[in-house]
Structure 1
Amino acid sequence: MNPSKYLFGSLNFCIEQLHQHKIIAYPTEAVFGLGCDPDNKSAVMELRILKKRPIKKGLILISDQYLRLRPYIDEQKLTILQREEMLSRWPGPITYVVPASATTPYWLIGFSKSIAVRVSNHDSVRELCCGFGKPLVSTSANLCGKPPCRNLVEVEQQFGLNFPVLHAKIGGRLNPSEIRDAISGKIIRQG
């Protein structure tokens, strides 16, 4: 194992872990998330195994800016008004389900032709994505059957002391992000 040159739990440590195709835990608006490089199949599949999330279910991508999400979105299937509505709500705690581009890997979208995306306003998420230069996979940090982690102690209890986690606090929201269909505008999950 290659030892890190950065302090465990620091932003640079977590970015280094992402570049090494590792899974990390990081704070979001309401809970800690688990994330990895969305383009690295082995990292995403390891995350799916850890979460016991079947391949048929899609994953959320989170980013600091819309530009990083564009390669995963089939923008031609969104009207100007649909895209403007989505962009007017970002950055913020609203996830949109959008048509996936033809190049979006199956390990992200499962059996769907769409992908869930969010531009976060949480500083830690924004710093991670900016430093990594890409969006991250985002799913709640919890083992199957356990509640999502809301602080570092809970992350350590569920995943162990050596699990890479960004040492920062979640935002002030009580509920995970709202999920909305970008085409129909329908709310899929209340936030």
Structure 2
Amino acid sequence: MLRTEIEKALAVLKNGGVILYPTDTVWGLGCDATNEQAVAKINEIKGRAADKSFIILLDTDAKLQSYVTEVPDVAYDLIEYTENPLTLVFPGAKNLAKNAINADGSIGIRIVKHDFCQQLIQRFRKPIISTSANISGAPTPLFFDEISDEIKEQVDHIVDWEQEIKTQKKPSTIMKLAPGGQFSFIRR
């Protein structure tokens, strides 16, 4: 079952589509983080301003250097020792769709510890976008059945995995890292 759902989502991502999928936090809208048209489609679905940046997901911290010009050592420690989902905002994003990157050149990256996401990203071999599955400005749905039909009707694939789970998850903690390794909290 998990393998089948990964195969279906993988095919959609490879074709530039948008998936609705479970993550280590809340249900998300996702696409190939290197494909500008796919990223633009997520903005369109959410009714979101094109100048807002996104969070990308990676399956391992070994891939950070492929998407960020400089990874301070403290980033690896933070990732290793955190127990809750943690998004790190790095300056100097690279090799990503321009419309996924913040105007200041930074990008938020979360190393996921979630079976579906890890296996999907590992097979895809690229980062995927992760943004909450809601219209911009609307409350973030905490469970699959709280996601609006408006969102569900616009995606290319809805992952049939963990839809029945009612364990409340929350958005990740977000920390901004400076090149020297100093960090500050954006969202706790």
Is the Cα–Cα contact under 8 Å of residues 21 and 40 in structure 1 kept in the other structure?
yes
Residues 72-102 of structure 1: CA deviation (Å, up to 9, x unaligned): 1112xx443x233333246850000011245
Is the Cα–Cα contact under 8 Å of residues 90 and 120 in structure 1 kept in the other structure?
no
Residues 127-176 of structure 1: CA deviation (Å, up to 9, x unaligned): 21122121101100111343223333333634236741212226955320
2:17 is aligned to 22
1:189 is aligned to 187
1:3 is aligned to none
**Structure 2 CA distance, aligned partners of 1:156 and 1:54?**
19
Where 2:183 maps in the other structure, the secondary structure is coil
2:144 is aligned to 152
Equivalent in 69, 78, 93 of residue 85 of structure 2: 93
**Structure 1 CA distance, aligned partners of 2:83 and 2:12?**
25
Root mean square deviation of aligned Cα: 2.7
Could you tell me which amino acid in structure 2 is paired with residue 187 of structure 1?
A: F
**Structure 2 CA distance, aligned partners of 1:44 and 1:111?**
15
Where 1:10 maps in the other structure, the secondary structure is helix
Residues 19-42 of structure 1: CA deviation (Å, up to 9, x unaligned): 111000111123101110011110
The count of aligned residue pairs is 181
**Structure 1 CA distance, aligned partners of 2:61 and 2:76?**
12
Give TM-score, length-normalised by structure 1.
0.81
Is the Cα–Cα contact under 8 Å of residues 33 and 96 in structure 2 kept in the other structure?
no
Where 2:142 maps in the other structure, the secondary structure is coil
1:115 is aligned to 107
Which runs of 5 or more residues in structure 2 are unaligned?
A: none
Q: Is it true that 1:47 corresponds to 2:39 in the alignment?
A: no
- Do the aligned partners of residues 46 and 137 (structure 1) sit closer, same or farther apart at CA in structure 2, a change above 3 Å counting? same
